[in-house]
């Protein structure tokens, strides 16, 4: 993978500078296994954030349904 393409993808997914630097260093050194491990670790972090966001949306939906139910009674 081209370095600039990877860098843009990391920016697009919201990687912080420290993580981005680590990943790009692994690419530059040719250490593909460590590169993949870092990408997988970052993916887990993004998934944790996603699940937290889903939980918040679920809570909001519950509040909305509850209030709508109270209004319609």
* pLDDT at res. 1: 75
What is the C-alpha separation between 3 and 55, in angstroms, rounded?
Answer: 35
Cβ burial, residue 35 (10 Å; 0-12/13-18/19+)? buried
Q: For residue 41, what are the domain limits?
A: 3-72
Rg (CA), the chain: 19
Upper half-sphere CA count for residue 66 (Cβ side, 13 Å): 6
Confidence of residue 2 (pLDDT cuts 50, 70, 90): confident
pTM, two decimal places: 0.75
Give me the number of domains the chain comprises. Answer: 1
* pLDDT at res. 39: 92
User: What pLDDT digit, counting tens, does each position of 4-62 carry?
Assistant: 998 999 999 889 899 999 999 999 999 999 999 999 999 999 999 999 999 999 999 99
């Amino acid at each position: 993978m081209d370095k600039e393409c990877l860098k843009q993808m990391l920016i697009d997914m919201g990687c912080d500078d420290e993580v981005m630097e680590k990943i790009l260093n692994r690419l530059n050194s040719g250490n593909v296994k460590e590169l993949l491990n870092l990408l997988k670790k970052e993916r887990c972090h993004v998934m944790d954030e996603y699940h937290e966001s889903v939980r918040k949306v679920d809570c909001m939906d519950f509040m909305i349904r509850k209030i709508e139910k109270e209004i319609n009674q």
